[in-house]
């Protein structure tokens, strides 16, 4: 189960100077806003597509990031950022905008469901303000996975409110559903010249049973089901199939046996010689985990948390890893022949840190360029991300 956060202001982290961090955060937000003004988001952005494959206008970049987990401290920060009236989550996410908004396609993971009429809670049963959805869209996200161990925290009502808010914000979603059709359907997206299908599944729901008569409310991990859905999406016209998986062991840097085994099985599956799955995006562990290319397909075992309160691990200790994460950025190039595979021609990761004191997400490479003393955090994330040899397969750290 997702660990609680401590409500008192967390202690300063060893080795992280606070020197000028508030000023740094403001600079990062300003830089992100300026960049976003120059680079419109969404499919078809020629500036972002230009980074793709050899000038091919059909190529596209896909960015994916980790868990959006609004603890009580995050909800209070959003209320403060809204001046005490309502909730504004955009300022705390602004540090990601320079990465997210420039991508042709950006995918997040919405771990919690939304409450209503001021009934908002953090750990252990999450009900987040629906204004989160609007902030995700403002940041540049096109779609979110919604299958997690907290999807049933408020039953079917929570799922209805969450998906309705994402719909209003213009953010597509996969992994949970209000109807049987929606529950089994991927999020359909367009990027460059590709039709992209996103599927999403979770290992479980913290022991909460599926709503009676609604087995489709949230998708549970099952290899055969995932492959069946992936093949159906391909048959329906998907050029690229992305699978989001809420899996792994909390607070464990290394992928566990299930992740390794399921990853191998999903990436080895082929139909008519073509892989059924083109990219796997992992969430849940609350800490960054490795990226790895398996059977020619990239697996992001765990991207860590994107936003979360100061996290407490299973031993009851505040654990700074819970505020560390990555965003994966992949450039897909169109096949030479119709029906061929869209190949990843560039693979990158961007290290992030959520400053729980200031309530702001920080792009660590940009922060270091501005003199912040966060090199130890950045270097640790890099070591973990590359720990399974992804550097040898071309994964590089981006900005």
Mean pLDDT of 107-134: 97
pLDDT of 45 strictly over 90: no
- Please tell me the predicted confidence (pLDDT) of residue 369: 79
- Please tell me the predicted confidence (pLDDT) of residue 55: 55
pLDDT of 344 strictly over 90: yes
Token pair for 288: 């960054």
Full residue range of the structural domain in which residue 205 is found: 43-397
How distant is the alpha carbon of residue 193 from its chain centre? 23
What is the band of 34 on the pLDDT scale with cuts at 50, 70, 90?
very low
In percent, the amount of the chain with pLDDT more than 70 equals 86
pLDDT of 325 strictly over 80: yes
pLDDT of 52 strictly over 90: no
Distance in angstroms (rounded) separating the CA atoms of residues 244 and 201: 6
- Please tell me the predicted confidence (pLDDT) of residue 16: 37
In a domain, 34, yes or no: no
Mean pLDDT of 194-206: 98
- Please tell me the predicted confidence (pLDDT) of residue 109: 98
3-state secondary structure of 45: coil
pLDDT of 202 strictly over 50: yes
Q: What are phi and psi of 246, to 5 degrees?
A: -95, 100
In a domain, 1, yes or no: no
Which residues on neighbouring strands pair with residue 293, listed in sequence order? 298
pLDDT of 38 strictly over 90: no
Contact present, 164 and 154 (Cβ < 8 Å): no
- Please tell me the predicted confidence (pLDDT) of residue 372: 78
In a domain, 14, yes or no: no
What is the band of 368 on the pLDDT scale with cuts at 50, 70, 90?
confident
| Mean confidence (pLDDT) of the chain | 89
In a domain, 32, yes or no: no
What is the band of 11 on the pLDDT scale with cuts at 50, 70, 90?
very low
pLDDT of 161 strictly over 90: yes
Mean pLDDT of 110-118: 97
Buried b / exposed e along 194-233 (16+ C-beta atoms within 10 A) = bebbbbbbbbebeebebeeebebbbbebeeeebbebbbbb
In percent, the amount of the chain with pLDDT more than 90 equals 83
Closest CA to 203 of 253, 248, 252: 248
Question: Which value, in Å, is the radius of gyration of the alpha carbons in the chain?
Answer: 19
pLDDT of 208 strictly over 70: yes
- Please tell me the predicted confidence (pLDDT) of residue 56: 74
Do you know the residue count of the chain?
399
- Please tell me the predicted confidence (pLDDT) of residue 39: 35
pLDDT of 22 strictly over 60: no
In a domain, 9, yes or no: no
Total structural domains in the chain? 1
In a domain, 210, yes or no: yes
Predicted confidence (pLDDT) per residue in 80-109, tens digit: 999 999 999 999 999 999 999 999 999 999
Mean pLDDT of 130-136: 98
Mean pLDDT of 95-124: 97
More confident residue, 243 or 37: 243
- Please tell me the predicted confidence (pLDDT) of residue 394: 98
In a domain, 328, yes or no: yes
In a domain, 155, yes or no: yes
Token pair for 217: 């409310």
What is the band of 9 on the pLDDT scale with cuts at 50, 70, 90?
very low
How distant is the alpha carbon of residue 356 from its chain centre? 18
CATH number of the CATH domain containing 113: 3.60.21.10
pLDDT of 370 strictly over 70: yes
């Amino acid at each position: 189960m997702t660990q609680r956060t401590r409500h008192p202001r967390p202690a300063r982290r060893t080795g992280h100077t606070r020197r000028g961090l508030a000023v740094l955060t403001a600079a990062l937000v300003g830089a992100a806003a300026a960049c976003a003004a120059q680079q419109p988001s969404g499919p078809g952005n020629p500036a972002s597509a230009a980074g793709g494959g050899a000038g091919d206008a059909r190529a596209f970049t896909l960015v994916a990031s980790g868990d959006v987990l609004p603890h009580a401290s995050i909800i209070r920060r959003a209320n403060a950022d809204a001046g005490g009236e309502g909730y504004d989550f955009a300022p705390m996410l602004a540090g990601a905008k320079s990465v997210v908004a420039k991508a042709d396609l950006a995918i997040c993971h919405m771990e919690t469901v939304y409450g209503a009429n001021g009934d908002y809670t953090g750990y252990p049963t999450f009900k987040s303000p629906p204004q989160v959805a609007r902030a995700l869209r403002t940041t540049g996200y096109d779609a979110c996975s919604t299958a997690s161990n907290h999807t049933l925290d408020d039953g079917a009502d929570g799922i209805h409110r969450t998906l309705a808010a994402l719909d209003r914000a213009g953010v597509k979603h996969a992994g949970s559903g209000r109807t049987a059709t929606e529950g089994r359907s991927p999020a359909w997206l367009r990027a460059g010249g590709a039709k992209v299908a996103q599927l999403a599944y979770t290992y479980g729901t913290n022991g909460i049973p599926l709503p009676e008569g609604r087995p489709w409310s949230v998708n549970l991990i099952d290899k055969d089901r995932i492959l069946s859905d992936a093949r159906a999406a391909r048959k329906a016209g998907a050029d690229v199939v992305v699978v989001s998986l809420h899996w792994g062991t909390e607070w464990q840097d290394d992928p566990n046996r299930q992740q390794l085994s399921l990853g191998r099985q999903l990436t080895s599956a082929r139909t008519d010689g073509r892989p059924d799955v083109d990219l796997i995006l992992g969430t849940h562990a609350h800490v960054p985990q490795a990226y790895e290319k398996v059977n020619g397909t990239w697996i992001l075992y765990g991207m860590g948390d994107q936003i979360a309160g100061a996290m407490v691990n299973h031993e009851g200790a505040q654990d700074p890893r819970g505020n560390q994460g990555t965003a994966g950025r992949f450039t897909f190039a169109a096949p030479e022949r119709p029906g061929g595979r869209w190949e990843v021609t560039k693979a990158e990761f961007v290290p992030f840190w959520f400053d729980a004191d200031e309530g702001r997400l920080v792009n660590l490479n940009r922060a270091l360029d501005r003199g912040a003393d966060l090199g130890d955090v950045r270097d640790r994330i890099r070591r973990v991300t590359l720990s399974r040899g992804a550097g040898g397969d071309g994964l590089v750290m981006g900005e």
